[in-house]
Amino acid sequence: MTEQDFDAIYSFAKSAGWEMSYDLNLLYRNNSQWNSSNAVMLLEYAASTGQVIDLELGNEPNLYQFTKHVDPAQIGRDYVHLRALMNTMPPFNTRRLIGPSVTHAFTADYAAKFLSTGSTSVDVFSIHHYYSSGPALTPQDMINPTVLDSITDTLNKARDAVSKYSRGTHTVWLGETGLAYSRSAPNTTGYIAGFMWLDKIGMAATHGVSLLARQSFPSFYDENETPTPEYWLTLLFKRLMGRRVLEVTSTEGNHFFRMYAHCSLNHPGGVAFYFLNIYSSDVELTIPSFTSHSYELFSLSAGGNGTMSTSIVNLNGHPVTMDGDNLPELSPVTSQTWPVVIPKFTYGFLVLPDAYVMACR
């Protein structure tokens, strides 16, 4: 990588309004210990040009046994080495160190060994998660409650490790995530993929995950660079949902209708829900505490010919498309009619602007 390559990546991130994290090579080693000479060169260059980044060290090290095994306790010591280096090189002394960036197949023992030596060095405990390999993932998996719930074990392991070995001071990230690893899953793109992605966001939020880094651009744009249904639902999530996560309980307890809630991003005291109905019939939704309140409904359904594989998504019955180079309005339907009818195989958002929930004020 040249200086010009690094500048181009940083410039792209900055122009998009993003912060940048950079993953250093953990396998550049002197016998058992990490060799930091390349890292020093990069950090010195970034500091001299005013380019401020967060850092990771290594990618999916629990898979290194296929190439060059590094003990997780030693990785923790390597992180301590990197943190000490960052502390001597402003502005990196105030930046985040993210790790160990393990796959969802990590074990509780692996996390314990890493955190036993490295917990004082990392700010974020990061994991990667996919439901399966691309060739193995089927359209039916994306609306299968058992498959959707399979992420729970990974999230529980991460939360338990952080709570036990770092005294709960570290946050958990899905530092790389999506639906399937290896390569794109055949016949699982388009509208149907939104169910699995939206549920992953909700499952992660309710388990205390504070950031999801989605892999990758092709999931959000088709071959014509047109935004996919996953893009539109993610945009709505970013526009509507605040950072405080609320608990949702249901009298039905049906895993085929799934609902999550945050404080509203735009209305102090308001609540915003997101839902997915993978039941084979419509669902009538009532939220007893709020039946006297009006709501804003953003209902997403399969557009085009109505098949679940379509790359077209409807918002409240109308196709969502770009307005030239500009984003469309994405306006809701406003109503005070309860119950709210959620059609089968749809997902979306329900905002209660004037709920005045104490936790959200």
Hey, where are the domains in the chain? Answer: 3-234, 257-360
Residue found by looking up tokens 């003990």 in the block: 71
Please report the pLDDT score of residue 224 as a whole number: 82
Please report the pLDDT score of residue 216 as a whole number: 73
Of 56, 176, 230, 296, which is the active-site residue? 176
Please report the pLDDT score of residue 3 as a whole number: 96
Of 3, 19, 44, 60, which is the active-site residue? 60
Report the largest interatomic distance among the alpha carbons of the chain, rounded to a whole angstrom.
68
Return the SS3 of 344.
Answer: coil
Which residue stretches of the chain have pLDDT < 50?
none
| 223 a catalytic residue | no
Please report the pLDDT score of residue 82 as a whole number: 98
| 284 a catalytic residue | no
Cis peptide leading into 268, omega within 30 of 0?
no
What CATH code is assigned to 3-234?
3.20.20.80
Please report the pLDDT score of residue 297 as a whole number: 98
Q: Which CATH architecture has domain 257-360?
A: Sandwich (2.60)
The residues, any chain, with a CB within 8 Å of residue 74's CB and separated by 6 or more, are: 32, 33, 117
- Prediction pTM value: 0.95
Helix runs in 179-268, H state only = 193-206, 217-220, 229-240
